[in-house]
């Protein structure tokens, strides 16, 4: 926390103490400080946005700040952060809004990388619905960016915030072709600004759609559509250059989803979605509700049915065929036996590949591609992660942590006992009779605790599903589809990828 922020925190805490308990700073923007507080009267957490003291006497800044409060106060939507009150106390101009416990979309991508299409689609739909509601009331946000999208941990919803530069039909001036201005004077965020906003043209709802497309590009790929080192560079790129297709930087994104983002980033407003409602419908059809074809569902079901035979096959190959082949090659006079053992090992290794190729060919014959399978697996794992996080929490449970510590302590006891048995050091005389129990009991306890911890972790994280997704998304999965369709030109009877409801066996 900077010294200036500390002073402001103290001053705000003193000035607002009758109505709010100011607890901690949450952030600072170009015009205001945001604090976490508790409203005394209703005993609820709120976020207090306070106009910076050095701007409170500036008429333009004050009007802009109050305009944001009035704008949002007129918008009542579950995906827009609501404002509770606007006030001025002891020279501080502020408004209190709902506190959203969670993180911003920018923080989410920065800490955990690009989102999967299902997760990104759900949050983009939330923001799209908020924009559609605002647009229907004549409000254009003009600053849609990941930092202004809050992810509510309690509900899983995305909420749009910061309508500080929103407007209703007024002309927005940009910087392209004009002298450079300090960053604080830029109306909007250059990294996510629409071409017409960057050029200084009039903007409408389709400008927000472009910005939301840039947010989607960032959320799905982890990078911006353009990379520049200055605000003017970003503005010129957005105004003059076409954005790269999302598939070129994030090939794992389903083509249908990538096409939606690419359409949002069209340079001409008429080439984008007509309104946010149309964008939400497109995302819903491509990501959230598209049924999975029977052939892909059957492929996924059979994958679960083949898990037990695959384990048996791996055991037999590793325990019987591989040692037999090695022993035969070590036998000097075992030419015939060597050939039989080698052939058996080769057959054992080739069997799972052959089964996989047959399954892939059947899927291709039904007119489906690998990207559809990967999309279905991605959607299934996204839902599994959500379900498991709801049941067990986002991280290790207290039970898992306790079992982990028990395993460490038991292992330490076993190592200590083993070292004492080997004469590395002498135990106290009163503990010497207990040496066998310490060593054996510690080893057994550590082993059992490790088994339980692993089983619980697998129950919470579904590693089998994650491995299956990585396999079919990776180079081995691509190779199997190339082997299954050597011509590489098999026509697909269905378009793009499917991300939606996957039926799994009970």
Q: Which residues are catalytic?
A: 143
Q: What is the DSSP letter of 230?
A: S
For the chain, how are helix, strand and coil distributed in percent, rounded to 5?
A: 60, 10, 30
Q: Which of 167, 118, 175 is nearest to 498 (CA)?
A: 118
Q: Which of 155, 121, 215, 115 is nearest to 500 (CA)?
A: 121
Q: Are 362 and 483 in contact (CB under 8 A)?
A: no
Distance of CA 383 to the CA centre of its chain: 12
**Alpha helix (H) residue ranges in 31-83:** 59-73
3-class secondary structure, 98: strand
Q: Which stretches of 358-459 are assigned E, i.e. beta strand?
A: none
Report in angstroms the alpha-carbon separations of 327 from 245, 312, 314: 55, 22, 19
* Pair of tokens at residue 203: 């903007």
Give all strands of the β-sheet with 158-160 in edge-to-edge order.
102-104, 149-152, 158-160
* Pair of tokens at residue 235: 């503005």
Distance between CA atoms of residues 494 and 255, nearest Å: 12
Residue that the structure tokens 């100011």 belong to: 22
3-class secondary structure, 266: coil
* Pair of tokens at residue 424: 């590395």
What dihedral angle (degrees, nearest 10) is formed by the CA atoms of 183, 187, 192, 196?
A: -130
Distance between CA atoms of residues 412 and 50, nearest Å: 54
Task: Give one DSSP letter per residue of 374-389, joined into a string.
Answer: HHHHHHHHHHHHHHHH
Distance between CA atoms of residues 427 and 319, nearest Å: 41
Residue that the structure tokens 């059992």 belong to: 448
* Pair of tokens at residue 189: 């965020």
3-class secondary structure, 450: helix
* Pair of tokens at residue 425: 């050091």
């Amino acid at each position: 926390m900077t010294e200036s922020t500390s002073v402001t925190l103290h001053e705000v805490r003193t000035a607002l103490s009758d109505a709010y308990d100011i607890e901690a700073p949450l952030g600072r923007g170009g015009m205001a400080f945001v604090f976490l507080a508790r409203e005394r009267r209703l005993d609820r957490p709120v976020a207090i946005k306070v106009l910076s003291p050095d701007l409170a006497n500036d008429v333009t800044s004050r009007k802009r700040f109050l305009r944001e409060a009035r704008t949002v106060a007129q918008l009542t939507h579950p995906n827009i952060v609501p404002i509770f009150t606007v006030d001025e106390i002891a020279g501080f101009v502020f408004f209190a809004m709902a506190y959203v416990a969670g993180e911003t979309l920018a923080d989410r991508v920065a800490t955990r990388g690009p989102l999967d299409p299902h997760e990104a689609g759900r949050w983009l739909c939330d923001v799209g619905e908020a924009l559609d509601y605002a647009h229907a009331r004549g409000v254009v946000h003009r600053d849609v960016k990941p930092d202004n999208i809050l992810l509510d941990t309690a509900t899983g919803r995305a909420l749009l915030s910061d309508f500080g530069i929103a407007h209703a039909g007024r002309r927005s001036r940009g910087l392209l072709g004009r002298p450079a201005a300090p960053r604080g004077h830029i109306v909007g965020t250059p990294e996510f600004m629409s071409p017409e906003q960057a050029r200084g043209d009039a903007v409408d709802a389709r400008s927000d759609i472009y910005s939301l497309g840039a947010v989607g590009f960032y959320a799905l790929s982890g990078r911006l559509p353009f990379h520049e080192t200055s605000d003017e560079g970003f503005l010129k790129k957005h105004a003059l250059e076409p954005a790269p297709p999302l598939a070129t930087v994030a090939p794992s994104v389903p083509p249908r989803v990538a096409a939606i983002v690419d359409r949002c980033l069209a340079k001409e407003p008429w080439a984008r979605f007509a309104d946010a409602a149309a964008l939400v419908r497109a995302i819903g059809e491509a990501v959230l509700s598209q049924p999975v074809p029977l052939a892909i569902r059957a492929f996924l079901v059979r994958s679960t049915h083949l898990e037990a035979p695959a384990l048996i096959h791996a055991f037999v190959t590793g325990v019987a065929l591989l040692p037999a082949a090695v022993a035969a090659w070590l036998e000097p006079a075992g030419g015939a036996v060597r050939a039989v053992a080698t052939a058996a090992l080769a057959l054992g290794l080739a069997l799972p590949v052959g089964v996989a190729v047959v399954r892939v060919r059947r899927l291709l014959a039904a007119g489906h591609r690998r990207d559809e399978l990967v999309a279905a697996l991605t959607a299934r794992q996204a839902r599994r992660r959500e379900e498991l996080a709801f049941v067990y929490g986002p991280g290790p449970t207290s039970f898992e942590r306790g079992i982990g510590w028990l395993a460490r302590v038991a292992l330490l006891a076993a190592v200590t006992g083993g070292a004492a048995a080997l004469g590395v050091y002498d135990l106290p005389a009163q503990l010497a009779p207990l040496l066998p129990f310490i060593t054996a009991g510690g080893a057994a306890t550590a082993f059992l605790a490790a088994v339980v911890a692993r089983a619980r972790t697998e129950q919470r994280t579904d590693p089998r599903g994650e491995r299956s997704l990585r396999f079919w998304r990776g180079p081995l999965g691509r190779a199997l589809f190339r082997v299954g369709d050597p011509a590489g030109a098999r026509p697909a009877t269905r378009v793009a990828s499917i991300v939606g409801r996957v039926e799994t066996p009970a």
